[in-house]
A and B are shown apart, each in its own frame.
Chain A
Amino acid sequence: MTKSYLVIGAGAVGLQIAQDLKENGHEVWLVEESTMPGGKFNSQKPLEPGINLAYFSGTYHPGDYLFTSKAVSLMASKRVKVLYGSKISVIKEEEGKFYTEIIAPKENYTKVFDGVYFTPGFIPFNPEEKAEYLYGINNFVLTGLELENLLKTGELKKNPPEKVAFIQCVGSRNNGIGPGKPYCSGFCCLYSLKEIDLLKKVLPDTIVKVFYLDLRLYNKGAEKLYQKAVENNVSFIRNMISAIKEEPKSYKPIIRYLNNGRFKDELFDLVVLAQGAELSPNIKTLLARLNITENELLEFYGTPENPHQIRPGIYFAGSFLNPMDGADSMVSAGAAAFPQINLKESVQSTMEIKYFTNTGIIFCNCRGSLPVDELKGTVADLPSITISDCLNEDELGKVRSFLLDNQIGKAVFAGCSKIKIMPGLEKLAYEESIGARFEVVNLKEQGYSLYGKEKFKAIAQKLLAGALARLKFSTTPALKVKNDITFDVVIIGGGLAGLKAAEALTEKGVSVTVVEKQDSFGGKHKNKVIPLEGINLKEFIEKIVLKLENRGALLLKNAEIVEVSGAPGNYQLIIERFGKRLNINAAAVILATGTQNSYGHYRKTSQIIFQEDLFSSADLLSQCDSIGFLQCAGSRNDLNPICSRNCCVSSLDAAIYVKEKFPEKDVFIFHQDIMAYGKYEYKYLKARELGIKFVVYNRGQYPEIKSIGGKIQVVTNENYLDDVVLDLLVLAEGAVPNKENEKLAELFRVGLDEFGFLRESHQDISGGYFPKWGVFVAGEAQGPKTVREILSSAQNTAKNVLTYLNQLQNSQLKVNYSEVIEEKCAACLTCVRVCPYSVPVVINGKNVAYIDPISCQGCGICASECPNKAIVQNNRPHQGVLAEIRVLAGEGK
């Protein structure tokens, strides 16, 4: 049943949710306060600077359009109403419905919704509130974003600072005292390291010192930035900075900090403040109307099982839910949208594909910023139109009628980057069955911006002529018909992520098979009885398994996948179980193989155990008077370079559990940086309140552990503490990529990242997608995660799978694939051998190769290797490429 939803905030998350809901047939109103979409990732916003270099999955990306412009065009539809510069003035909940009044620039609306999504992100903390940092008073004190702007404009190079200090946690982790918030803002440690990286690239000799409490670099990409900073001689100083002073003559800032037990005053040329996250005041008012108090807001909302649903009809997602980076935000968006996504009734689309033969040009002047008019008619005498904005509903409509009116089957789009525009153009093919092929000439990012005003026209003409020459040889897209799809999904790995994804999918009526290698379900969490993030995982897992059995899911223990064949939508898997082979068909496969434990260089004794032992037997706790937790025992070392992300939360939960039950016991946590990021900080605060003692050891300098007289002695490097004597020491094992990943990557033809985790597509940042169709990842197989994050990730993947199953049912157009010219094929098997996805086959007896267009990824590897040139990559036939070369090389246009 289709419903109507209100989404508040058109940042990356709001856009993604609107797109998902729309695709499922719901009506969506997207209300955005500012005049543009994109939130923090929009770098073109007039008032607040945005992030245009977003760091995620280990590199920088153009945040603005990867996260947002793409979504804008995918969202464009009559079912979506986007209101910019708008505000909700009234919201009331009555019997599960939401009555709203919306004030928009042109018109005011009253409207009733079935549900509300809050995706307003956060606003940066204003450092002026912390007067002691002199922000706004002293010109040498900046915020991170201001620094990034100086770097971008080249200002900083003109007047290079010799010494720069970064102060972390400004407005965050205030412990309830003074301005700011008690939680950790989660991304500012990463963000500061990113600024340092950018700074060092421009000014490699600058001395950089970072003053921090904990360096919360919990995601796998962040560790790389840290290593780079260390190589670049950045100093990291664990010190709370309470004030900045001014040098009376130069007004340069002075920072006082503890150095070997003594105070030291140091002069800097610049101080950069890492601002934290705040809630915007107007959102607080809206929430109050829905009886959600500010106090509730500060803690986690929802339940850990369903973190995004606050109560029926109200959902929170993105950095508003919990401060997080872009990639995590997108996972959160998908998980929040999940409840509204259903499997469509199987209807074979009857829409006829419209194939045309004319060629045309679509110009875009990019809101007036590109002088495309001077190109019109100068390259070719072809029909053309000019649009002026990203493919929102209006612009898409213009393109649609242009194609239909002029019977255009091949078109060059001359405007911005293809990464931005292609999804919108392809939408015409997928959703409206217009069988056109598009070529993009990037006149903006790779044209005007790179060559400048003077050279623009000549270069643009060449590129345009080149694309037209190339296009002559491309074919129109092929029809993709699906009639034999099954709706079975196979999940490899029956741990928390796999089970949760299975639960989510079976709830929507998808039939699911779970393949588990071990002889029980639940993976590494299956025996955990001490609550972790509020969940007794043992019971939780047992409940899901029971539910799955009742829903008729096929649960295979002791089973292993050994072979994969077939095409997306119709994979054939062979599963081996007790020596027998089982054939299973699947429309989609989810890889949820989790991680393995890494025990570092430690060995277990009766008194030195690992977290997994402790969590599975609560009795251990009653038998000892003093207990210690040693963090990072299996992480951030030579065997496992990255943070395992969940062990600090686990130790905090266990420590709090002990202390609440047995207040008389002594509890210690030995740590490097306690990774209580985001709202996990509340656990840390609670632990301190309960009297749990935190002992810091330097990175890599693990305390010495001795066994003396039936006790464990921990020799610390903190000079104010005597050596600690314990009855029980719990080591935090780490999470390393599952060894199975290599096998799975090979079987399913997906990639691994540098650490050995399954590598997602870096352009589909909505999380959990592989470049290959029909194969998905959930949970820790992609990277370490906490329980909450695993559950979110599983829900998000379930959403991705549902969306994909729905897409399979429509007939769609395949644009990018290779085809065999049978008459030329010598059946030499070269294509069969070189294809990275094993798509081509030479059927015995037929003596020619066949490439299934749906499975083909369109890389063109086979086309270039075929010794008889019997394969054509339809999007880039060799003749087309050669024609383009000639045009580009030639004089004139």
Chain B
Amino acid sequence: MIVAERKPIEEIIKMVEKHESILVLGCGGCVTVCLAGGEKEAEQLATTLRLYFQKENKPFKTITTTITRQCDPEYVKSVAEEVAKVDAVLSTACGVGVQFMAENYPGKWVYPALNTKFAGANLELGVWGERCGLCGECILHLTGGVCPVIRCSKSLLNGPCGGSQNGKCEVSSEIDCAWQLIYDRLKSLNSLDLILKIQPPKDWSKARDGGPRKVVKEEVRL
């Protein structure tokens, strides 16, 4: 899932201060699940902004609503009426949702309320960890299920580097060395031979180095 977190409030204030009415639009997808932009957060953000402008004695109105997903045209279109009523939209979706809203509502400012962080997993209540770099050509079968692209600070495909110490990465003692994890996994899978194989350079054109990507699933298209 996409993991995001709310931007600092001052930053959001700066974006919206030139407007007098905004739609705070929540998303019921990933950002609900990562507790960053569902209905609850959207309402809370709206109240926070109203309070701020109340303090500043500036007129400011909010409408708050939440749609199932901001990355599907049908849902996005369903808020046309609300969008028409306001000067701008503040989206609590990930970057995808913000852009998709903007695409669908030309002539309206759509602002991001969140910083979209990464594709990751919920480690425990309130904690998320990055797990996938969206590289376009997965190699997890070669590394025992631990991604070196995103979990190795240097994205080494033939690790570890000399900075691996006591299982930790030299970049920070908070970061587990991905290659240590790969070693441990492969060992428990009795497949240490895999680690000795030299990986050829990765084809980064399949990642976002090749420009924006698109996925097409022909059989569902008419």
A/B contact in complex, CB under 8 angstroms: yes
Given A824-B39, A826-B38, residue A867 in contact with residue B125 (CB < 8 A): no
The residue of chain B having its C-beta at the shortest distance from the C-beta of A867 within the complex is B38
CB distance from B61 to the nearest CB of A (A): 17
Q: A867 near B29 (CB under 8 angstroms)? A: no
- Complex Cα distance, B75 from A300, in Å, reads 77
Q: Is A791 an interface residue (CB 8 A)?
A: no
Tell whether, in the assembled complex, residue B125 and residue A868 are in contact, meaning their CB atoms are under 8 Å apart: no
Identify which of A827, A834, A869 gathers the most chain B CB atoms within 10 Å of its CB.
A869
The reply to whether A869 and B43 form a contact with Cβ atoms under 8 Å apart is yes
Pick from A824, A867, A869: contact of B35, CB under 8 Å: A867
The reply to whether A834 and B40 form a contact with Cβ atoms under 8 Å apart is no
CB closest residue in chain A, given B37: A867
- Bound together, the chains give a CA A824 to CA B32 distance in angstroms of 11
- Some 25 contacts from A to B, beta carbons below 8 A apart, are A824-B28, A826-B28, A826-B29, A826-B32, A828-B33, A828-B35, A829-B122, A830-B35, A830-B125, A833-B125, A834-B125, A866-B40, A867-B32, A867-B33, A867-B35, A867-B38, A867-B39, A867-B41, A868-B28, A868-B38, A868-B39, A868-B66, A869-B39, A869-B40, A869-B43
* Residues of chain A whose beta carbon lies under 8 Å from any beta carbon of chain B: 824, 826-830, 833-834, 865-869
- CB of A864, distance to nearest CB on chain B (Å): 8
Given contacts A834-B125, A868-B38, 11 further A-B contacts (CB under 8 A): A824-B39, A828-B35, A829-B122, A830-B125, A833-B125, A867-B38, A867-B40, A868-B26, A868-B32, A868-B40, A869-B39
CB neighbours of B122 from chain A (8 A): 829
B-side contacts of A868, CB under 8 Å: 26, 28, 32, 38-40, 66
Complexed CA–CA distance, A391 and B108 (Å): 62
Least CB distance from A134 to B in Å reads 67
- Which A residue sits closest to B29, measured CB to CB? A826
CA distance A726 to B38 in the complex (A): 76
Secondary structure at the A interface, as helix, strand, loop or mixed, is loop
Partner of A828, one of B26, B32, B41, B43: B32
* Cα–Cα distance between A824 and B68 once the two chains are bound (Å): 8
Q: How far in angstroms is the closest Cβ of chain A from B115?
A: 17
Closest 8 CB pairs of A and B: A867-B38, A828-B33, A868-B38, A833-B125, A869-B39, A826-B32, A867-B32, A868-B32
Chain B residues with CB under 8 A of A827: 33
What's the least CB distance linking B170 to chain A, in Å?
34
Q: How far is the CA of A865 from the CA of B39 in the complex (A)?
A: 11
B contact residues around A830 at 8 Å (CB): 35, 125
CB of A604 to closest CB in B, whole Å: 46
Say whether A826 contacts B40, CB under 8 Å: no
On chain A, the residues within 8 Å of B28 by CB distance are 824, 826, 868
**With A and B bound together, what is the CA distance between A699 and B32 in angstroms?**
60
- Report the nearest B residue to A823, measured CB to CB: B68
Scan residues 20-39 of chain B and give those whose CB is less than 8 A from a CB of chain A.
26, 28-29, 32-33, 35, 38-39
Q: Which residue of B lies closest to A868 (CB)?
A: B38
CB contacts (< 8 Å) of A829 on chain B: these are 122
Most B C-beta atoms less than 10 A away, residue of A827, A828, A868, A869: A868
List residues of chain B with CB within 8 A of the CB of A828.
Answer: 32-33, 35
Neighbouring B residues of A869 by C-beta, 8 Å = 38-40, 43
Cα of A520 to Cα of B213 in the assembled complex, Å:
71
Per the bound structure, the CA–CA distance linking A267 and B32 in Å amounts to 73
Q: How far is the CB of B72 from chain A (nearest CB, A)?
A: 15
Q: How far is the CA of A778 from the CA of B190 in the complex (A)?
A: 54
Contacts of B43 in A (CB 8 A): 869
B residues within 8 A CB of A824? 28, 39
CB distance from B51 to the nearest CB of A (A): 14
| Distance of A868 Cα from B28 Cα, bound (Å) | 7
> How far does the alpha carbon of A833 sit from the alpha carbon of B35 in the complex, in Å?
13
Q: Could you tell me the distance between the alpha carbons of A827 and B38 in the complex, rounded to whole angstroms?
A: 12
CA distance A365 to B125 in the complex (A): 49
Distance A467 CA – B206 CA, assembled complex (angstroms): 61
Q: Which residues of A contact B38 (CB under 8 A)?
A: 826, 867-869
Contacts of A866 in B (CB 8 A): 40
User: Which residues from A are CB-within-8-Å of B29?
Assistant: 826
Q: How far is the CB of A848 from chain B (nearest CB, A)?
A: 12
Q: How far is the CB of A876 from chain B (nearest CB, A)?
A: 16
The residues of A that contact B66 with a CB separation of less than 8 Å are 868
Chain A residue nearest to B35 in the complex (CB): A867
Max chain A C-beta neighbours (<10 A), residue from B26, B33, B40, B125: B40
Chain A residues with CB under 8 A of B26 = 868
Residues of A contacting B125 in the complex (Cβ-Cβ under 8 angstroms): 830, 833-834
- In the assembled complex, how far is the CB of residue A634 from the closest CB belonging to chain B, in whole angstroms? 41
What residue of chain A has the Cβ atom nearest to residue B41's Cβ? A867
Q: Which residues of B contact A834 (CB under 8 A)?
A: 125
Q: Report the Cα distance A869→B125, complex, angstroms.
A: 17
A866 to B28, CA, bound (A): 12
The complex places the Cα of A769 from the Cα of B193 at a distance, in Å, of 61
Residue numbers in A under 8 Å from B35 (CB-CB): 828, 830, 867
Q: Which of A826, A829, A833, A867 has the most CB of B within 10 A?
A: A867
Q: How far is the CA of A200 from the CA of B51 in the complex (A)?
A: 45
Q: List the B side residues contacting A867 at CB < 8 Å.
A: 32-33, 35, 38-41
Q: Chain A CB within 10 Å — which of B33, B66, B122 has the most?
A: B33
- Least CB distance from B216 to A in Å reads 27
Across the interface, name the chain B residue whose C-beta is closest to A864.
Answer: B40
Q: How far is the CB of B45 from chain A (nearest CB, A)?
A: 13
Chain A residues with Cβ under 8 A from B39's Cβ?
824, 867-869
Shortest A505–chain B CB gap in Å is 40
A830 to B29, CA, bound (A): 14
Alpha-carbon separation in the docked complex, A828 to B39 (Å): 13
Question: How many Å lie between the Cα of A826 and that of B26 in the bound state?
Answer: 13
* Bound Cα distance A867, B40 (Å): 5
Residue of A nearest to B36 (CB): A867
With both beta carbons as reference points, the residue of chain B lying nearest to A870 in the complex is identified as: B39
* A residues near B32, Cβ cutoff 8 Å: 826, 828, 867-868
Contacts of B40 in A (CB 8 A): 865-869
Q: Measured between alpha carbons, how far is A728 from B39 in the docked complex, in Å? A: 74
Q: Measured between alpha carbons, how far is A674 from B32 in the docked complex, in Å?
A: 63
Q: Smallest CB–CB gap between A818 and chain B, Å?
A: 15
CA distance A828 to B33 in the complex (A): 5
Chain B residues with CB under 8 A of A833 = 125
A844, chain B: closest CB distance, angstroms: 16
Q: What 1/0 flags go to B34-65 for Cβ under 8 Å of A?
A: 01001111010000000000000000000000
Min CB–CB distance A889 → chain B (angstroms): 13
Min distance, Cβ A822 to any Cβ of chain B, angstroms: 13
Residues of chain B from 86 to 124 with CB closer than 8 A to chain A in the complex: 122
Q: How far is the CB of B50 from chain A (nearest CB, A)?
A: 13
Give Cα A35 to B35, complex, Å. 59
Q: How far is the CA of A826 from the CA of B35 in the complex (A)?
A: 11
Contacts of B41 in A (CB 8 A): 867
Q: How far is the CA of A754 from the CA of B125 in the complex (A)?
A: 27
A828 to B125, CA, bound (A): 10
Cα-based distance from A866 to B39 in the complex (angstroms): 9
Considering only CB atoms, which chain B residue lies closest to A833 in the complex?
A: B125
Interface string of B6-30 (1 = CB under 8 A from A): 0000000000000000000010110
**Whole-angstrom distance from the CB of A78 to the nearest CB of chain B?**
49
Q: In the bound complex, what is the Cα–Cα distance between A826 and B40 (angstroms)?
A: 13
A867 to B33, CA, bound (A): 7
Please report the C-alpha to C-alpha distance between residue A303 and residue B29 in the assembled complex, in whole angstroms. Answer: 67
Chain A residues with CB below 8 A from B33, complex form: 826-828, 867
Task: Compute how far the CA of A707 lies from the CA of B39 in the bound complex, rounded to whole angstroms.
Answer: 75
Cα-based distance from A171 to B38 in the complex (angstroms): 69
State the CA gap A833–B33 with chains docked (Å).
12
Chain B residues closer than 8 Å to A865, beta-carbon distance: 40
A833–B28 CA distance with the chains assembled, in angstroms: 19
Smallest CB separation, A832 vs chain B (Å): 9
Bound together, the chains give a CA A560 to CA B66 distance in angstroms of 49
- Alpha-carbon distance between A690 and B32 when the two chains are bound, in angstroms: 77
Task: Give A827 to B36 CA distance when docked, in angstroms.
Answer: 15
Q: How far is the CA of A824 from the CA of B43 in the complex (A)?
A: 15
